[in-house]
Amino acid sequence: MSLDEARSAIGARFSGAEVGTGTPLVVTVSPGQWAELAAFAKETLGCRFFSFLTAVDWKEPGLEVVAKVDNLDDGLAVMMKTRLGPGVSTCASLTPIYRGADWMERECWDMFGIRFDGHPDLRRILLDDTWEGHPLLKSYAVDTPHPPYR
Amino acid sequence: MKGPIPEIPAPIWRNFKDLQEWELLHKTRPVDDKHSVLFESVTEGIHSFPGGFVVTTAADAFLNWARKSSVWPVTFGLACCAIEMMATFCSRFDVERLGMVPWASPRHSDLMIVSGTVTIKMAPMLLRIYDQMPDPKWAVSMGSCANSGGPFRHGYHVVKGVDRVIPVDVYVPGCPPPPESLLNGLLLLQEQIKHFKRTGQRAAPNEKVD
Amino acid sequence: MLDQSTVARVELDWAGPERLTMNMGPQHPSAHGVFRAIVTLEGETVVAVDAVIGYLHRCHEKLAETLTYAQYPSIASKTDYVAAMTSEFAYVMAAEEIGKVEVPKRAQYLRVICAELQRVASHLLWLGTWCMDMGGALGGGATIFLYCIREREDILDLFESLVGARLLYGFYQVGGVRYDIPDGWVAQCRATIDRIDQRIGEYEQMLEQNPFFLARAKGVGVVSRELAQDVGIAGPLLRGSGIPWDLRRTAPYSSYEDFDFRIPVETDGDCFARYRVRMVEFREAITIVRQALDKLPAGPISSRPALKSVAQIRIQKGESYARVEGPRGEVGCYLIADGSAKPYRMKWRGASFSNLSILPHIIPGHKVADVVAIMGSVDPVFGEVDR
């Protein structure tokens, strides 16, 4: 599956998706189509390698979830993005589709407070279970005190 | 003939609140060693005889020689400094010639070399391992992360120095300190142990005792 | 009254073998760093593994938003601290991709030489610690550990004369590298890698004729092709499971296309296959270093002027994902720049984070003793896992 074929396949299947040019192929969809896009990438585009999943806090426009998957046989790289919108912090989980999304989504919950619907075990992974706050949000100060340790 | 001693300027604290915080912490740190009433009474009994001091001083010196020649560190490698600590334990910068056998179990060790960044999640585990070590025990803070939080000092999950968790005897600076620096710190620790008195008087951290 | 779940648990305890939950705590002698595995055992067999990480979470991603492009590469070293230049490479390449900064040829070759030397050094440490875990620190395992660290010290000497630091460097900068090689370095480098090449052969012979090593490594920790791709592991784990994916060949960066080397692929997917992949990678890395030293062009080492202030490098708005093939796999840096001297968002795609997430899938079914062997062959570095 080459880049152009992939671009046309995505454009045909997902109306309203913004598809970029060049590598990696950046596809932006609405949150409702997130899991569908991932399943499409795995089955039709052949992207079976799950690279990473993360989120970005754009302050006013809200959070954005970014995931990247690769097709190792053809060398196709697809970067999927979805903007959750201001004030929204829930998203569909990709764990049923890609098992590698498990820990990555736990990290997004930990760092950004995004709840993933359909995740089997959403709990904090890097910080303590008793930690309050989600550090990578722009509203969280980097040197937040935590007596007596800092 | 010794070379000129370099003038190291005093550190400029960027944040006055940081300095006040550090000073307060070190003033209110608890005394670590436990006093043994039985031992003190026995010592006093020996001292009541003429020449008794010679016995206790000799016994002290012998015990301290035994302690410093056979310090067993517990392998507490946390981060990058652990790799340099492992290099120190290996054949090029051998610490076994100093009598230090790295030992995994804290129950059988005398020294904890905290090598690496202490995070808030790890701090209770560190304290638990330190508590499991029997007295007398020493701690060496290796690397700038363990000394003061290091390059990650401003991170939300980083403890600003392991001395907020356990009392430290020697601070070894560096990021990571090369094995020569760690050996320097361990030799300084041996000097401190030589002057360790059972009544609980220890040298101040990093103090050069002769 | 007992509820249904309690009744089910009690019945399980009565009917089946007892299950014991055991903690392999954050401090354990298997010298990999701060990792906690809560294993559920049935007798000697592991039934479930809950990996607890985060004991070394040092807030890299948040700190990167407060540090400039000139300041961060030395901090980037501290993610994968065993092969520190890998992470610097990824960060610097991401910044260069957004800023469209050209890197001179000499700098590219120097980057390749250092990256491959780091690969050799990292694999030496891996071999030493893995064999020490399997052999016991006071038993036979320390033999090969001391040998491997002895070779690694030679490579660290090379780095010390080049950069000034043994373990953590700030060698890569946006636009090139920071230091040029001193006189005599090329000859010292050639002598070192010749010596290491010969000694690796000795270690291979020593290990592969050892029946205990073979018993502990063959057939243990099999990762299937499908699972490997689904979870997203990379590096020797992927190549040990039969997938010929190496970023240096499939998406070459920094003049890797100028060098002639082969990609080892094994199909078994067990610990022994990953061991074989890494042993061949030793040889191939040494080949690449030799070729790069032969063809090293003259020229500038950086396309940007020398750094005089920390905010000197500004990258325009954009985003990119740059990845390098580190000793552990694909280390990636997803960088969003916003025109100032500091990034807006920086995410580390840590190779060890993805590699470690395979443990809950492959360990169940093995014995307790195999947990250590599998963890060693996965080769995690917790700076990368926890960032």
A54 contacts chain C (CB < 8 A) = yes
For residue A21, with 0-12 CB atoms within 10 Å meaning exposed, 13-18 middle and 19 or more buried, which class applies? exposed
- If DSSP states are collapsed to H, E and C, what string results for C341-366? CCEEEEEEECHHHHHHCCHHHHCCCC
pLDDT of residue B3: 43
B125 contacts chain A (CB < 8 A) = no
Strand pairing report for A115-117 and A90-92: parallel
Contact C345 A57 (CB under 8 A): yes
Q: How many residues does chain A have?
A: 150
On the question of pLDDT at A44 being above 70, the answer is yes
pLDDT of residue A114: 92
CB C259 within 8 A of CB C292: yes
Q: pLDDT per residue over C102-140, tens digit each?
A: 899 999 999 999 999 999 999 999 999 998 888 876 767
* Residue predicted with more confidence, B44 or A139: A139
Strand ranges for A43-144 from DSSP E: 49-57, 63-71, 76-85, 90-92, 115-117
In chain C, the residue whose alpha carbon lies closest to the alpha carbon of A134 is C62
Contact B84 C166 (CB under 8 A): yes
- Domain coverage including residue C208: 60-350
| B160, two tokens | 């600003």
Q: CA of A104 to nearest chain B CA: how many angstroms apart?
A: 19
pLDDT of residue B1: 42
Count the neighbouring beta carbons within 10 Å of the beta carbon of residue A101. Answer: 26
All residues of chain A having their beta carbon less than 8 Å from the beta carbon of residue B149 are: 150
- Examine residue C141 and state whether it is found in any structural domain, yes or no: yes
- Examine residue C68 and state whether it is found in any structural domain, yes or no: yes
Nearest CB among B149, B156, B165 relative to A135 is that of: B156
pLDDT of residue A17: 73
Sheet of C45-52: strand order equals C19-24, C36-42, C45-52
Question: Is the domain A3-117 a CATH 3.40.30.10 member?
Answer: no
- Examine residue C363 and state whether it is found in any structural domain, yes or no: no
All residues of chain A having their beta carbon less than 8 Å from the beta carbon of residue B158 are: 150
What is the rounded average pLDDT of the residues A129-138?
89
All residues of chain C having their beta carbon less than 8 Å from the beta carbon of residue B178 are: 166
pLDDT of residue A59: 86
What is the rounded average pLDDT of the residues A55-73?
90
Q: What angle do CA C57, A103, C264 make, to 5 degrees?
A: 95
In chain A, the residue whose alpha carbon lies closest to the alpha carbon of B149 is A150
Nearest CB among C65, C250, C344 relative to A75 is that of: C250
- Examine residue C373 and state whether it is found in any structural domain, yes or no: no
- Examine residue C47 and state whether it is found in any structural domain, yes or no: no
**CATH number of the domain where residue C340 is located:** 1.10.645.10
* Residue predicted with more confidence, A150 or B124: B124
List the one residue out of C260, C263, C231 whose CA is nearest residue C245: C263
CB C86 within 8 A of CB C281: no
Structural domains of chain C, count: 1
Contact A99 C361 (CB under 8 A): yes
List the one residue out of C387, C384, C319 whose CA is nearest residue C97: C319
Contact B156 A149 (CB under 8 A): no
Contact A50 C321 (CB under 8 A): no
pLDDT of residue B199: 46
Number of continuous H segments (helices) and E segments (strands) in chain B? 7, 4
B49 contacts chain A (CB < 8 A) = no
Distance, CA of B137 to CA of C98 (rounded, Å): 52
- Examine residue C27 and state whether it is found in any structural domain, yes or no: no
Q: CA of A146 to nearest chain B CA: how many angstroms apart?
A: 8
Burial pattern C220-241, b for ≥16 Cβ within 10 A else e, equals bbbbeeebbbbbbbbbbbbbbb
Asked casually if ipTM beats, i.e. exceeds, 0.95, the reply is no
DSSP H helical ranges for chain B: 16-27, 37-47, 52-68, 80-89, 123-132, 143-148, 179-194
* Domain range list for chain A: 3-117
Distance, CA of B160 to CA of B169 (rounded, Å): 17
Low-confidence ranges of chain C (pLDDT < 70): 1-17, 30-31, 137, 139
Q: For every one of its 210 residues, what pLDDT tens digit does chain B have, with 9 covering 90 and above?
A: 444 444 444 444 555 566 666 666 555 444 554 556 777 788 788 888 887 778 877 877 787 788 888 889 987 889 999 999 999 998 899 888 998 888 888 899 989 999 999 999 998 888 888 888 887 788 999 999 999 888 998 889 999 888 888 888 899 999 889 999 999 999 998 888 877 765 455 666 676 665
Q: CA of A125 to nearest chain B CA: how many angstroms apart?
A: 11
Continuous segment of H or E residues that includes residue A141: none
Q: pLDDT per residue over C260-286, tens digit each?
A: 999 999 988 899 999 999 999 999 999
All residues of chain C having their beta carbon less than 8 Å from the beta carbon of residue A28 are: none
The dihedral of CA C347, A51, C245, C192: what is its sign? positive
